[in-house]
Chains A and B, each alone.
Chain A
Amino acid sequence: MQSIQLIVFLPLLAAIIAGLGNKALGNVPAKIVTTGALFVSCALSWPIFLSYVAGHAEPSVAPVLHWLSSGSFNAAWELRVDALTAVMLVVVTSVSALVHLYSWGYMDEEPDQPRFFAYLSLFTFAMLMLVTANNLLQMFFGWEGVGLASYLLIGFWFRKPSASAAAIKAFVVNRVGDLGFMLGIFGTYLVFDTISIPDILAAAPGMAGSTIGFLGHRFDTMTVLCLLLFVGACGKSAQLGLHTWLPDAMEGPTPVSALIHAATMVTAGVFMVCRLSPMFETSETAMHVVTYVGAATCLFAATVGTTQTDIKRVIAYSTCSQLGYMFFAAGVGAYGAAMFHLFTHAFFKALLFLGAGSVIHAMHHEQDMRYYGALRKEIPVTFWAMTAGTLAITGVGIPGTLFGFAGFFSKDSILESAYAAGGPGTTAFLIGVFAALLTSFYSWRLVFLTFFGAPRWAGSEHIQHAVHDAHGHDDHAHDAHHDHHHGHDGTAGYHPHESPLNMLVPLVVLSLGAVLAGILFHGAFIDPEGGAHFWEASTLAFNEHLMHASHGVPLWVKWSPFAVMATGLTIAYMAYIRHTDWPAKFTAHFHVLYDFLLNKWYFDELYNAIFVKPAFAIGRFFWKRGDEGTIDRFGPNGMAALVVAGGRVTRRLQSGYLYTYALVMLLGLAAAVTWAITQS
């Protein structure tokens, strides 16, 4: 057995054991089985990745089982390993293993732990099936499998109505994307007579310039196929229009947000475009659409992120925005940079989410940053980890040197490639730079609101409950005196505690990733020569010319990300540390803009009005007016009225001796038929 099979199927096995064992198995064994399986998978994945980085590994496909064939259609369960898969393997297994470990601490008080860990492992399995797919159908299996796990985990606290609503929303909105993906697979099969990814990619250039009939019109074949598949990518990766589920998905436990809604699942769309990049290369229109959608998402999410007050929602919009960067990188042809950003983003965004979880843990489930403040000294490890993550996401680094945090290498490479590509890339570059300013602002805003300033904890109901409960238990005798004593300093007498070791270890490990991932791996991912060599062992269409060109962009292009990063930091510093009255003044002055951003551009309201409500109204109309008011009224009921008017039949039917009547009918019928046969 090859190690890839262990990597993929151990998490499934663990999920089954923990899920079916559940309460009978007990919390600790379930956690050991799942976490252990993930660490083994992770340990097996890194050597594979490093062998591709070192440049001495070839793509391979390990067959597992026959799956589905019909006519010339053929799909098998098989595990493809190449450089692109290897990148995803380490991202998925590393983050997943760390999130499993982190959840030991975070979910410690949860009564339903085996179920949670089983879902996490199930998710990992599905994600691994997605990234090892060698045909589109298996990719779709993984695609829907991660959707299922995401649904289950968002709705993990299923008693909360908001959680189960968010879970449904995530699944259904993703299904809209899946509609595109499925039609894309149908079309691909129609055109290429295969759904094997290598075969499609080999044949794709030959189809450039051909046309196909679709929905009654004729289009460029490759444009239709790529755009259909891209609709799927938009759903999974929460691109503008199909993004509405992602912020709501924050209803799930925070480790879930880190694993699924930041590091892995939401990047599946980017992975898909990179995996099929030779196909996208054949359609300029499709590439332009990818670029513009990515850039628009990047801008949209960044603007909304500046106004949110829920710590997890800020990070969620940040994720959405960063995914936009990855897409427009892919759209301009810089797939290496897109994958590199996916890789670094996985580390620093998982870090930010897990850090936020640690803050929430310390603040007794309070998620509103308005009630944070001054946590720097209370939870120092979390503070430093979050700072490392923020330095990485804002892209701190000195252009032209090797000093820089992970996001510096990947984001700057994206922006430079976009500029170098020209055309829509120029627009994307400008939007990307502006979004980088916003990124820096909202990221530092988060840090300043959480860790600096004066404590504002007293305003939080969660904290009030916690303090009250603690008094109820411990300080019964002299609580009246105690209550009076505090309350003036904004702490409400609450003492946040740093998280336990099993939560801090993942934070530290991810911090190392956020600091070092860029320095260590930029050679393999985005260097013109190194990248060409690395990506050769994959399906990714690495564009050496573009990467060369991106190194030769003017100096102002190279320095502009740095400049906007510093500007964003300065504005955040001024507004949230020096002049804390500024934000209130700003919102009062520009309240229309502020409301527009706070309400997320009113997408939810719009969709409710044009999709959700009409669906229910039309359903009711069809049911009452269509089925009951028309079909039944003139059909069977009308007939029945005639029969009743006619006489005794219905009374006979109700006599209770139906079967004698029915039997007579059967015999009569049979007799009539046989008589007819013998006559002819």
Chain B
Amino acid sequence: MNELGFPILSLMMAVPMAGALLCLFASAPQARQVALVATLADLVLGLLLWLNFDQSAGHAQWQFQEYAPIFGRFAWAMGIDGIALTLIALTVFLMPICILASWDSIEKRVGEYMAAFLFMETLMIGVFAAQDLFLFYIFFEAGLIPMYLIIGIWGGVNRIYASYKFFLYTLLGSVLMLIAMLWMAREAGSTDIPTLMAYSFDPKVQTWLWLAFFASFAVKMPMWPVHTWLPDAHVQAPTAGSVILAGVLLKMGGYGFIRFSLPMFPEASAQFAWLVFGLSMVAVVYTSLVALVQSDMKKLIAYSSVAHMAIVTVGLFAFNQAGIEGAMMVMLGHGLVSGALFLCVGVIYDRLHTREIDRYGGLSINMPKYALLFMLFTMASVGLPGTSNFVGEFLALMGVYQASSWVALVATTGIILGAAYMLYLYRRICFGDQKNADAAAMPDLSPRELVMLVPIGLSVLWMGVYPESFLAPMRADVQAIVARMAPAAPEGDAKLTAGKPHAAPAEHENHEATNEHGGPETAAEAH
């Protein structure tokens, strides 16, 4: 039972599910309203969840737990920690915005479309709330289906290829994960995730289990070189599909690393840290450069997502508090910012029906409100301090610096390249002269569009100026993971030594200071 006296997590899953069923049988206008009401109701529940989440010192790690056995070891086990809480909050925050983004732009089969979205919300909350291994797996994989439908039915011209590629990639990885899960359930005799997080698998077996999970999470992230489904999926998906894909679905990979790979297989994680670092370093440089040469707005942002997610993976495998908290903050920040950027693309796509960057230009003149918000999200995307993404990138990179200065250096070049491709994009869309008459005639943001973008903008600033609201709930949980991994944590490359005892005999104040600071543990390394 939980603090609220009713099973709030199940309710948060049931509300959109009920909405989805209603939508299937409703007319187009009704379906829109049902979907909006259902997602807003979930947002209210999400707020309730956040406000009742116990953040005080020494609180229980798992809260709002529910348990109902189904059969065998399989149970309806729900419960969240701070990490899941923030990701659920991100999900319920983005969903009403997605419904609004689809309000006018989706004209065919509206009921089914809204149903697919609501069904997806149910599954996403399920992924973050599940405490049973197989329950997680079902939600994790089933999330593919509504997304697959959204791209395949309501997508662009080349939607079949994109949805097929999306499905194929993500499914192949998950088959391996399923096998690993079956083995784990038998070995540990439990499918309870908290139990498994404390279970010590044999390090030799860990290697294989880690790789099996990695196959699935790496595709979901996506990590280079299994990222090529993402640009195609984004380009073909309708706006709201892109928002949810970039905003929440990509976060499932990172969540998987935090929930499974790191705490369950700490030795294997340490062993493979350099694989992750290597792929991530390639991703930062490679995909940033590819983003620079794109002429399709959505492709550009999709490639930038891959680069940002690489910062997440380096942060996660830094094996320290700053790295993991930073990775979480990048995920939350990127969820908001890339979602908002896709919405910004959608706003002008709805008006001109093209994603070609060159067809726009000078939008600052006829769409000043749009230009302002787009600038805010562009700056957040390049990680300007005071916005959400800076907090995450800074912590993640600081964390990885303690593991390896090389990785930190290469990953930090992302801030240069990121500025280059984003500002180049912004310049081509909003600056310059109004060279295209049709683009110059586009009206500024409608009230509906403002309602979508302004809350995200405010959240981005809030996360940048006072990230404590988001870091506080997850702090203890991240500490627990770091403590769990500590015995396996590899040593960093800094290997700081103390100041030489006889460094400066002439300067007496220098001498004193050296004695003061040369502690026994560092002095030992000096020799």
Chain A positions within 8 Å of B, measured between CB atoms, are 22, 65-71, 73, 77, 137, 140-141, 143-145, 148, 151, 155, 158-159, 161, 164-165, 167-168, 171-172, 175-176, 178-179, 182-183, 185-187, 189-191, 203, 205-216, 218, 221, 615-616, 618-620, 622-623, 626-627, 631-632, 635-636, 639-640, 650, 653-654, 656, 658-659, 662-663, 665-666, 669-670, 673-674, 676-678, 680
**Cross-chain contact of A172 among B290, B384, B423 (Cβ < 8 A):** B423
Stretch at the interface among B33-41, B243-251, B399-407: B399-407
Contacts of B145 in A (CB 8 A): 659, 662-663, 665-666
Contacts of A189 in B (CB 8 A): 398
Instruction: In the A-B complex, list the 7 residue pairs whose CB atoms are closest, starting with the nearest.
Output: A206-B517, A209-B503, A71-B321, A619-B289, A186-B401, A678-B72, A141-B385
Chain B positions within 8 Å of A, measured between CB atoms, are 70-74, 112, 134, 137-138, 141-142, 145, 148-149, 152-153, 160, 163-165, 168-169, 178, 182, 185-186, 191, 225-226, 228-229, 231, 286, 289-294, 320-322, 325-326, 362, 364-365, 368, 379, 384-386, 390-391, 394-395, 397-398, 401-402, 405-406, 408-409, 412-413, 415-417, 419-420, 423-424, 427, 430-433, 465-468, 471, 492-500, 503-504, 509-510, 513-514, 516-518, 522, 526
**Contact B228–A141 (Cβ < 8 Å):** no
**Cross-chain contact of B134 among A620, A635, A673 (Cβ < 8 A):** A673
Contacts of A172 in B (CB 8 A): 416, 419-420, 423
Min CB distance A585 to B, Å, is: 43
Min CB distance B20 to A, Å, is: 12
**Contact A182–B379 (Cβ < 8 Å):** no
Contacts of A619 in B (CB 8 A): 289-293
In whole angstroms, how far apart are the Cα atoms of A178 and B384 in the complex? Answer: 11
**Contact A212–B495 (Cβ < 8 Å):** yes
In whole angstroms, how far apart are the Cα atoms of A143 and B386 in the complex? Answer: 11
Known contacts A159-B432, A206-B517; decide if A190 and B321 are in contact (CB<8 Å): no
For this complex, 14 residue pairs linking A to B, each with C-beta atoms less than 8 Å apart, are A67-B468, A70-B322, A140-B385, A158-B364, A179-B413, A182-B397, A186-B408, A209-B500, A211-B497, A213-B495, A662-B145, A665-B145, A677-B191, A678-B74
**Contact A179–B412 (Cβ < 8 Å):** yes
Min CB distance B425 to A, Å, is: 10
In whole angstroms, how far apart are the Cα atoms of A140 and B331 in the complex? Answer: 22
**Contact A616–B493 (Cβ < 8 Å):** no
**Contact B415–A179 (Cβ < 8 Å):** yes
Known contacts A206-B516, A635-B228, A676-B182; decide if A69 and B468 are in contact (CB<8 Å): yes
**Contact A183–B408 (Cβ < 8 Å):** yes
Q: Please give me the residue from chain A that is nearest to B482 by CB atom.
A: A71
Q: Interface residues of A: mostly helix, strand, loop or mixed?
A: helix
Min CB distance A214 to B, Å, is: 5
Contacts of A622 in B (CB 8 A): 286, 289-290
**Contact B493–A627 (Cβ < 8 Å):** no
**Contact A73–B497 (Cβ < 8 Å):** no
**Contact A164–B431 (Cβ < 8 Å):** yes
In whole angstroms, how far apart are the Cα atoms of A457 and B320 in the complex? Answer: 67
**Contact A190–B432 (Cβ < 8 Å):** no
In whole angstroms, how far apart are the Cα atoms of A258 and B500 in the complex? Answer: 47
In whole angstroms, how far apart are the Cα atoms of A144 and B465 in the complex? Answer: 14
CB-based A-B contact count at 8 angstroms = 256
Contacts of B141 in A (CB 8 A): 666, 669
Contacts of A214 in B (CB 8 A): 405, 493-494
Contacts of A77 in B (CB 8 A): 465
Contacts of B384 in A (CB 8 A): 144-145, 148
Min CB distance A473 to B, Å, is: 26
**Contact B292–A615 (Cβ < 8 Å):** yes
Known contacts A67-B466, A183-B401, A213-B405; decide if A631 and B228 are in contact (CB<8 Å): yes
Contacts of A216 in B (CB 8 A): 406, 493
In whole angstroms, how far apart are the Cα atoms of A144 and B419 in the complex? Answer: 12
Q: Please give me the residue from chain A that is nearest to B145 by CB atom.
A: A662
**Contact A68–B391 (Cβ < 8 Å):** yes
Min CB distance B70 to A, Å, is: 8
Contacts of B431 in A (CB 8 A): 155, 158-159, 164
19 extra interface residue pairs, beta carbon distance < 8 Å, beyond A182-B394, A653-B160, A658-B163 = A66-B468, A71-B321, A144-B386, A172-B416, A179-B416, A208-B504, A210-B526, A215-B409, A615-B289, A626-B290, A627-B290, A636-B229, A640-B164, A650-B164, A666-B145, A674-B71, A674-B72, A677-B74, A677-B191
**Contact B225–A631 (Cβ < 8 Å):** yes
**Cross-chain contact of A658 among B149, B191, B365, B427 (Cβ < 8 A):** B149
**Contact A164–B432 (Cβ < 8 Å):** yes
**Cross-chain contact of B494 among A185, A190, A620 (Cβ < 8 A):** A190
In whole angstroms, how far apart are the Cα atoms of A203 and B514 in the complex? Answer: 9
Known contacts A168-B423, A213-B494, A653-B164; decide if A620 and B293 are in contact (CB<8 Å): yes
Contacts of B406 in A (CB 8 A): 215-216
Contacts of A212 in B (CB 8 A): 494-497
Min CB distance A300 to B, Å, is: 23
**Cross-chain contact of B386 among A141, A213, A632 (Cβ < 8 A):** A141
Known contacts A67-B466, A70-B322, A650-B164; decide if A205 and B513 are in contact (CB<8 Å): yes
Min CB distance A161 to B, Å, is: 6
In whole angstroms, how far apart are the Cα atoms of A71 and B481 in the complex? Answer: 13
In whole angstroms, how far apart are the Cα atoms of A254 and B518 in the complex? Answer: 53
**Contact B229–A168 (Cβ < 8 Å):** no
Known contacts A73-B322, A619-B289; decide if A674 and B164 are in contact (CB<8 Å): no
Q: Please give me the residue from chain B that is nearest to A152 by CB atom.
A: B375
Known contacts A71-B320, A203-B517; decide if A144 and B385 are in contact (CB<8 Å): yes
**Contact A164–B467 (Cβ < 8 Å):** no
Min CB distance A8 to B, Å, is: 14
Q: Please give me the residue from chain B that is nearest to A23 by CB atom.
A: B368
**Contact A215–B419 (Cβ < 8 Å):** no
Min CB distance A148 to B, Å, is: 6
**Contact A187–B401 (Cβ < 8 Å):** yes
Contacts of B325 in A (CB 8 A): 70-71
In whole angstroms, how far apart are the Cα atoms of A175 and B419 in the complex? Answer: 8
**Contact A210–B402 (Cβ < 8 Å):** no
**Contact A658–B420 (Cβ < 8 Å):** no
Known contacts A182-B415, A210-B496; decide if A168 and B424 are in contact (CB<8 Å): yes
**Cross-chain contact of B493 among A209, A213, A623 (Cβ < 8 A):** A213
Contacts of B391 in A (CB 8 A): 68
Contacts of A676 in B (CB 8 A): 182
**Contact B290–A623 (Cβ < 8 Å):** yes
**Contact A206–B289 (Cβ < 8 Å):** no
**Cross-chain contact of A206 among B321, B322, B401, B514 (Cβ < 8 A):** B514
Min CB distance A166 to B, Å, is: 11
Min CB distance B77 to A, Å, is: 13
In whole angstroms, how far apart are the Cα atoms of A665 and B144 in the complex? Answer: 11
**Contact B385–A22 (Cβ < 8 Å):** no
Known contacts A176-B416, A654-B160, A680-B186; decide if A206 and B432 are in contact (CB<8 Å): no
Contacts of A654 in B (CB 8 A): 160
Q: Please give me the residue from chain A that is nearest to B402 by CB atom.
A: A190
Contacts of A207 in B (CB 8 A): 499, 517
**Contact B496–A186 (Cβ < 8 Å):** no
In whole angstroms, how far apart are the Cα atoms of A225 and B378 in the complex? Answer: 30
**Contact A68–B292 (Cβ < 8 Å):** no
**Cross-chain contact of A615 among B379, B420, B509, B516 (Cβ < 8 A):** B420
Contacts of B160 in A (CB 8 A): 653-654
In whole angstroms, how far apart are the Cα atoms of A378 and B368 in the complex? Answer: 40
**Contact B423–A171 (Cβ < 8 Å):** yes
**Contact B321–A208 (Cβ < 8 Å):** no
Contacts of B289 in A (CB 8 A): 615, 618-619, 622
